[in-house]
């Protein structure tokens, strides 16, 4: 019969499998975040581009309304057009009665021949590879007036820059989210670990508990002990003693602790019994795997311990 404190101690030790779970979870979060960011970026760019096009068309329409008011004063109209060149506009044209009364351009389009005006917003490219929206609207608001129109070329670089700025901010937030989730996962998965490295407790189901300490493998459900893959049979007391030592490999258990745990109801058990049982356990381990008796070490004056992977386990190798 196992001591009552035993299962509790078992569940406190960890090894590689939870760490792998942690890495898997982090990788999954990273992949999902990257996928989300990718989707967001694409959607965001599309939405921003659409909104930019809508605003740009309204911008040109507002300018056309003003141009209609100022068409008798070309100097003022040209001054207003030049003002717009200081922003996203690369060229501004106003045509009245088929004659260009305003044609102002920034230096990057000063010498190029512009394609004919189109009454839909068209994305075109300059010789410098800069993309721009070419928008022409009728001065009087009608859709078909080839002679009276206001036309503007609006660079897309600015909206792309704004969209990418937002995307980078979201990406940075996503990275922060991944770090936060990773930290939380690490805390959730690794904090319960109390055991030493090289020891694994699996608790796949409430009824399946196993301790692995180097070559030693103990299954509590079946009460089986394997050393280097070979099964070794123990009496219940031997099994209880070995299990106690194996629950915290590397930790020295005093004779008093062992007596209190393995022989809790016996007033007569003493250190000789412990020594005897340790001897028998070593003997059985060694019979199964030569050298495995070294798995249990006597610490003179203190007690006994099962070697952890941090210890030199070469004695236990075949």
Indicate whether 80 belongs to the interface with other proteins (CB under 8 A).
yes
Interface region with other proteins, contact rule CB under 8 A, candidates 32-40, 72-80, 177-185, 191-199: 72-80
C-alpha 98/C-alpha 268 separation (Å) is 118
Residue 96 binds other proteins, judged by CB under 8 A: no
76 belongs to the binding site for other proteins (CB under 8 A)? yes
What is the spatial distance between Cα 27 and Cα 24, in angstroms, rounded to a whole number? 5
Strand partners, 253: 304
**Helices of type H across the chain:** 6-11, 16-70, 74-85, 157-190, 236-247, 255-262, 271-288
Given 4, 86, 301, 312, the residue binding other proteins (CB under 8 A)? 86
Is there binding between residue 277 and other proteins (CB under 8 A)? no
Nearest to 96 by CA among 60, 142, 149: 149
CA–CA separation, 313 and 214 (whole Å): 8
76 vs 183, beta carbon nearer other proteins = 76
Q: Does residue 56 belong to the site contacting other proteins (CB under 8 A)?
A: yes
Binder to other proteins among 88, 202, 210, 247 (CB under 8 A)?
Answer: 88
Which range, of 69-77, 190-198, 217-225, 288-296, touches other proteins by CB under 8 A?
69-77
Query: Considering the rule CB under 8 A, would residue 52 count as an interface residue with other proteins?
Result: yes
Q: Of 17-25, 61-69, 255-263, 285-293, which segment contacts other proteins by CB under 8 A?
A: 61-69
| CA pair distance 301, 308, nearest whole angstrom | 20
Per rule CB under 8 A, is residue 253 in the interface with other proteins?
no
Helix (H, G, I), strand (E, B) or coil at 283: helix
């Amino acid at each position: 019969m196992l001591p009552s404190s035993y299962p509790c101690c078992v569940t406190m030790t960890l090894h590689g499998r939870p760490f792998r779970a942690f890495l898997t979870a982090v990788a999954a979060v990273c992949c999902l975040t990257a996928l989300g960011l990718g989707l967001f970026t694409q959607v965001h760019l599309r939405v921003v581009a659409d909104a930019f096009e809508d605003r740009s068309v309204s911008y040109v329409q507002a300018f056309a309304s003003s141009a209609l008011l100022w068409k008798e004063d070309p100097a003022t109209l040209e001054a207003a057009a030049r003002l717009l060149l200081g922003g996203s506009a690369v060229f501004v044209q106003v045509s009245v009665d088929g004659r260009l009364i305003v044609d102002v351009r920034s230096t990057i389009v000063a010498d190029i021949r512009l394609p004919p005006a189109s009454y839909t917003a068209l994305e075109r490219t300059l010789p410098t590879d800069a993309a721009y929206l070419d928008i022409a609207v009728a001065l009087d608001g009608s859709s078909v007036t080839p002679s009276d129109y206001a036309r503007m070329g609006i660079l897309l670089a600015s909206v792309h820059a704004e969209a990418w700025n937002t995307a980078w901010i979201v990406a940075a937030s996503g990275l922060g989210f991944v770090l936060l989730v990773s930290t939380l996962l690490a805390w959730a998965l690794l904090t319960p670990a109390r055991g030493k490295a090289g020891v694994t407790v699996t608790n796949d189901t409430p009824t399946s508990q196993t301790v692995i300490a180097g070559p030693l493998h103990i299954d509590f459900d079946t009460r089986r002990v394997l050393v280097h893959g070979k099964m070794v049979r123990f009496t219940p007391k031997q099994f209880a003693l070995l299990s106690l030592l194996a629950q915290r490999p590397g930790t020295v258990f005093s004779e008093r602790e062992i007596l209190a745990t393995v022989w809790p109801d016996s007033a007569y058990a003493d250190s000789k019994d412990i020594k005897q049982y340790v001897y028998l356990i070593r003997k059985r381990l060694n019979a199964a795997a030569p050298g495995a008796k070294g798995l249990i070490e006597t610490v003179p004056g203190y007690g006994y311990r099962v070697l952890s992977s941090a210890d030199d386990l070469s004695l236990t190798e075949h």
